[in-house]
Amino acid sequence: MRVFALTGAGVSAESGLSTFRDAGGAWTRLDFRDVATPEGFARDPERVHAFYNARRANLAKVEPNAAHRALGALQQELGVRGGRLYLCTQNVDELHERGGAAEVVHMHGELRRVRCQACGWADLWSGDLSTAITCPRCGRAGGLRPDVVWFGETPLFMEEIWEAVAGSDLFVAIGTSGAVYPAAGLVEVARRARVRTCEINLQPSDNAERFDERLYGPATEVVPAWVARLLA
Ligand code: OAD
């Protein structure tokens, strides 16, 4: 069986990482235009660095939860059985990897990576970023930015992702509000390819009616139970 899983902030919520649009979420406290757009970065780079520095530092304090671990186990087990779990996440944390997934496609980039806007150099980065830090390759200061996708930028690996959705037997969206495209449009790609669709979320998402099956409750409970049923 070939499964495509799209995950969002809800899968990491019970690890202690806040979501974006729920009560208390990042976009209820902050204007995303200030901290998650190229224009916001050009206007006030230190403010943007502070937002991502805090989130990067917070990663050291959180652990993967039962939903991450169940998806890691599903990827391993489907591989053994000659199938596949294509695990595609909008999350910039690395909790899927720490939960045992060997292959994760980060369509919105990764907090633990850095990129130089001046020369394109990119690598892992664990400390804070600031405009004073120089690029290890080109030596310029001010060009380093988190290697994440901001609003107005194109998400990564889209051709490969569309192909993987269409080539699956089952598409499952987990812990995502369905508010941000192109991720929110993947369920339509699945439907057009006659792939069965399933939504797992705390409550019906913006796209709920597009799914054949809908399972509601905390990801740490619903995902392990769903994985167990799938593998039974
Ligand atoms: P959202 O904050 O929009 O949605 C989180 C979803 O998770 C909501 O539908 C919640 O109901 C659900 N949820 C919350 N807690 C849950 C739990 N314990 N178990 C299951 N579900 C739970 O986050 P995303 O959909 O991931 O992009 O947001 C998509 C993108 O918008 C993000 O990647 C980010 C953001 O702006 C960028 O920054 C470019």
| Residues contacting 98, CB < 8 A, separation 6+ | 63, 64, 68
| Residue 146 CA, distance from chain mean position | 15
Taking 50 as the pLDDT cut, the residues of the chain under it are none
Measuring from each residue's beta carbon to the nearest atom of ligand 1, which residues come in under 6 Å?
A: 8-10, 13-14, 19-22, 25, 32, 36, 90, 108, 149-151, 175-177, 179-180, 201-203, 205, 218-219
Q: 68 exposed, middle or buried (CB, 10 Å; 0-12, 13-18, 19+)?
A: buried
| 195-211 pLDDT per residue, tens | 999 999 999 999 999 99
Candidates 90, 92, 95, 226: which one to mutate for ligand 1, based on the most atoms within 8 Å of Cβ?
Answer: 90
pLDDT at 73: 98
Ligand 1 atom, smallest distance to 178 CA: 25
Q: Retrieve residue 8's tokens.
A: 């969002």
The torsion angles phi and psi of 123, rounded to 5 degrees, stand at -165, 180
pLDDT at 190: 98
Task: Find the 10 Cα to ligand 1 centroid distance in Å.
Answer: 5
Question: 88 has which bridge partners?
Answer: 6, 105
User: What does the H/E/C string look like for 56-117?
Assistant: HHHHCCCCCCHHHHHHHHHHHHHHHCCCEEEEEECCCCCHHHHCCCCCEEECCEEEEEEEEC
Q: What is the mean pLDDT of the chain?
A: 97
Ligand 1 atom, smallest distance to 219 CA: 19
| 23-72 pLDDT per residue, tens | 889 999 999 999 999 999 999 999 999 999 999 999 999 999 999 999 99
Which strands, in side-by-side order, build the sheet including 213-216? Answer: 104-106, 84-89, 2-7, 170-174, 196-201, 213-216
Task: Find the 21 Cα to ligand 1 centroid distance in Å.
Answer: 7
pLDDT at 54: 96
DSSP calls for 113-175 = EEEETTT--EEE--S---TTPBPTTT--BS-EEEEEPPTTSPPTTHHHHHHHHHT-SEEEEES
Looking at the domain 2-16+64-108+155-231, which fold is it?
Rossmann fold (3.40.50)
Q: Angle at Cα 102 formed by Cα 97 and Cα 104, nearest 5°?
A: 65
User: Residue 102: how many CA atoms within 13 Å on its side-chain side?
Assistant: 10
Q: Retrieve residue 29's tokens.
A: 């406290």
pLDDT at 61: 97
Task: Find the 124 Cα to ligand 1 centroid distance in Å.
Answer: 25
- Within 10 angstroms of residue 162's Cβ, the number of other Cβ atoms is 15
Q: Is 111 left (phi over 0), alpha (psi -120 to 50) or beta?
A: alpha
User: Is 18-61+111-148 a CATH 3.30.1600.10 domain?
Assistant: yes
| Residues contacting 29, CB < 8 A, separation 6+ | none
pLDDT at 46: 97
Task: Find the 143 Cα to ligand 1 centroid distance in Å.
Answer: 29
The domains of the chain are located at: 2-16+64-108+155-231, 18-61+111-148
